[in-house]
Amino acid sequence: MRRDKILLNFVEREQPKRKGIGGGMDEGSGNKKHIILVHGACHGAWSWHKVTTLLRSAGYRVTAPDLAASGIDERRFQDLRTFTDYTQPLLDVVASLPPGERVVLVGHSLGGMNIALAMDRFPEKIAAAVFVAAFMPDSVNPPSYVLDKVRRSAKICHSSHLCPGCNPNSHWCMPSATFLLHRQLKQEKTLSYWLDTQFGSVVGDKERGPTSMLFGPEFLSKLYKLSPPEDLTLAMTLARPSSFFLEDLGSVPPFSESGYGSVEKVYVVCAQDEGISEGFQRWMIENNPVKVVKEMEDADHMPMFSTPKQLFQCLSDVADAST
């Protein structure tokens, strides 16, 4: 596929001698902390290329895996059934760490849920976890709880026709129906929060899989509103279908206090975020208090593009303080 070739060329150009972006382990540089960067929905390890470069230049070891069916991972969305399937590449990376090594996990957006699962399974391997404008679960409710909060604040409208730009031959779009989510805002009438995001399920799938979503150009523009235009163009080119895995995450027990709850947590609030609002980020912090809250006043939902140097400094401070 043309997109895959573009992404492979991009990864090779950005990291010609390293294996830390796109699924592999970093070769390492010095004795500084090992940081694992986890991307959000519809994105890939490529979204971390600026921060990865800054961290490595400062001597940190960095791994940025592609989650399943993301980035250059060869799996397709219809191959996935559960959130664990989607998270497996990260779980494999953490499981393979040498005995005694403790890393800093960083999750962006939906990636907060992925690092939470890794924290719950391997708490002894994680020195600290950083949630960057990310969904952050608690140890009381099912993992889907914070995602359900978003769903309950939205109006679900069913349309019997395809949304604009939807490809009826796409493996992820459902030709018989498309679901458009609209948020109810206090100051305005119904405003389309998700804009041109396309939701559906796998065509002809005998076994019902997770509902898919693919961010469209308009929605991506909202997420990248303060980011350089070339980074938005990159995202429009490389975005792949993803999912919130709501049914699966709602059917499993809460993350444990002894696992997920025992890991030191830091939350990075992005004040200009129009994807996960600042208010919702702060509600998650109240719902599940963290050790440290860092604030980035000029960051949109994609701080790795809009404020990469500031995000680098936040992560560097956390890594240096962790044990």
Active centre residues (catalytic): 109, 273, 301
- List of residues 6+ apart from 241 with CB closer than 8 A: 42, 69, 77, 172, 212, 213, 214
| Alpha-carbon dihedral 206, 209, 211, 214, rounded to 10 degrees | -90
Q: Spell out where 139-190 has E strands.
A: 154-159, 178-183
Query: Burial of 58 by CB count in 10 Å (0-12 exposed, 13-18 middle, 19+ buried)?
Result: middle
For residues 2-38, b (16+ Cβ closer than 10 Å) or e, as one string? eeeeebeebbeebbeebebbbbbbbebeeebbbbbbb
Four-residue CA torsion sign, 117, 119, 124, 126: positive
Q: Is the CA virtual torsion 311, 314, 320, 321 positive or negative?
A: negative
> Among residues 91, 131, 126, which one has the least CA distance to residue 111?
131
Cα→Cα distances 20→23, 29, 66, 111, 144, Å: 7, 12, 10, 17, 30
* 126-132 vs 265-270, strand pairing mode: parallel
In angstroms, the CA 170 to CA 179 distance is 15
